[in-house]
Amino acid sequence: MALVTGGELVVRTLRAAGVETLFGLHGAHVDGIFQACLDQGMPILDTRHEVAAGHAAEGYARAANRLGVALVTAGPGFTNIVTSLANAFLDRTPVLYVSGAAGLAQAETNTLQAGIDQVALARPVTKWAHRITVTADIPRLVAQAIRIATSGPKGPVLLDIPSDIIGARIEEEGVWMPSPLLLDARPAPHAAEIERALDMIGAAARPVIMLGDGLDPSAADAVRRLAEATGAPVYSDFAAHGVLPADHPLHGGTWHKMADLAEEGGRPDLILALGVRFGLFTVGTTGLVVPHDARLIHVEIDPREIGRIRAVDLPIVADPASAAEALAEAAAMRGRPDRSAWQARVAGAKAARRRALEPDLARAAPPIHPIQAVDAIVSAITPDTIVVGDGAEAYHWLNETIRQTRPSSYLTHGHLGAVGFGIGLALGAQAAHRDRPVLCLVGDGAVGFTIAEFDTMARNDLPIVVVVMNNHSWAASQHFQELAVGPNRVTGTRLGGARYHDVAAGFGCHAAHVREIEALAPAIRDAFASGRPACINVEIDLGPIPPELHLLMKR
C-alpha cells in the first residue's frame, strides 16, 4: 500500500481548497511541509522574517479576496507571527497560520524551541486554534480550519502541528479527504427587513451609506446600483475604499470626511451601515462622524457588533453583500428621489476640503510638505495600482488623496495600528497580482521593521515600489509629545537621516533619493519602468500634522 506523510496531507488539502502560494520561513520543525511543497509544486514565498510572512499572507488574502496561508517553525517562528495573528483577527482577514512544534514524543524534555503552549497563546487572537495530534486527521482539521477562516465574520485560524506528526508515514487508503472544503455561507436578510430599510431611507432627507470591512468586495456592483437608486452618497472605511469607485459622483470619501458635512450646512439624518464596526474610525461615541441624532440601519453578519457603540433603529443580522444585493434589487423597483441638493452639499464638502489643502500643495521650496508627496504619488500611479499605506502618520496623509477605483486595492491600517506591516502586505499583494503594479508608502520609522524584505522582493522578482516618507522622526509619537507634554519633553522619538534607498540598492533594488517635489512623480514612474523592486527615499517636512489625526485627537 502507498504511504503518505503528514506534510503531504497538509499540502494536498491546501491545494484541494484552491491555495496556490504559501508564505513562510524555513525551520526544521516544518521541513516536512517544505519538502511536500517541493514535490507537489506548491510555491513558498520565503521571507527574511516570520513577521513579514504573516503580514504577506494577510496582504494576499486582502488583495485577492481569498484565503492566505503562512507557514512558520516552532518557538520564535511562532512568536514572531503573533502580531500578524492579532492584526488579522481585528481586521477580520482570512488567514490560516500553520506552525511547527516539537514532536509529541519530546514533550516535557526541555528540547529545542519547545516549552510554550503555542495554541494557548494563539487562542485570544484567532477564531480557532488547535493542535493536530494524529496524522490521519490532518485533512479533516485543515478543512475545518479553512471553513472557519473563510466564513463570516472572517478571520485567522492556527493549526499547530508537531514535527513527528508532520513526518509520520501512514497508509494513504486510510485517510479521509473531506469535501467540500469551502463554504459559500452568505445568510440573506428577511424581505420585510429590506422593505423597512428602504422605507426609512426614502423618508430621510440626508441619507448616507457607510461601507465597512465586513462587506465583501464582490458587492461593488450592488453598492453602486443601491447608491444610484436611493441617491445616497457613499462613505467607506479603508478596507472598503474602492468598492464604489472614487471617481463616482456619489463617492463621499473615507469615513472621517463625513465630519466635514457639519460645515456645509447639514449632517446625515440616516445611515445605512453595511459591514461597519463602529468605534475607532467612526471616532467612537463622540458623534463627530456619526451624528447622535441620525437614524441607523446596521447590517452585520456578527451580531456582537450591532449596538456595541450606539442604539440601532433597524438591526439586520445578515451578510452585508447579500443585503446590498437585496436592497439594490428592491430599490430599483421604487422611484428615484431627487436628492440633488444633498448630493451637492457632499460634493461641496469634498471641494472645500481640497481647497483647504491648496496652500500646502502649492509650496514652492523644500522641505517637501507631506501632502505634496502623497498627492504626487496618487497622481503618478496608474488606475490598476494596488496601494499599501503604512506608518503612524504617513498613511493618514495618504488618506487625504487616495482615490482608488477598484475594491481591495488600498490596504492599510486597521484597529491594531500595526506600524511596520506595509512591506509584508505589499509582498502578499504582489504575489496575488503579478500583473498589477504595487506601491507601498511607509514612514521612515515603519520601513525599519522589515527593511531586509527588499531582499525577498529581489529574490522573488516582486517589483514593488516602496516610497519612504522620511522626516527623521517617529512623527506621530513626537507630535503627541509636543502637544501633550510640551516641546521640551520630546524623548525617544527622533530618528537619524538613514539612507534607506542605499539599503535597498544593497539588496539589488532600484533606488532614488528625492529632496524636491518636482522630482517625485518622475522617480515613481522610473521605478515602475525599471521592472525591479525599488525604494524611493523622500525627504519631507516634520512639522505638519495630518487633518485626520486632529479629528482622532478629539475623541
Residues with catalytic function: 29, 50, 113, 417
Contact 202, 168 (CB under 8 A): no
DSSP 8-state assignment for residue 281:
G
Phi and psi, residue 187, nearest 5°:
-60, 130
Cα separation, 200 vs 187, whole angstroms: 22
Cα separation, 153 vs 302, whole angstroms: 6
Contact 472, 495 (CB under 8 A): yes
Cα separation, 196 vs 234, whole angstroms: 20
Supply angle C-alpha 303, 307, 310, rounded to 5: 160
Query: Quick check: bond before 367 cis, omega within 30?
Result: yes
| Residue 308 CB coordination number (10 Å) | 14
34: helix, strand or coil:
helix
Look up residue 491 and give its amino acid.
T
Cα separation, 87 vs 98, whole angstroms: 16
Strands 534-539 and 465-470, bridge-based pairing = parallel
The cell for 399 is: 488618506
DSSP 8-state assignment for residue 172:
G
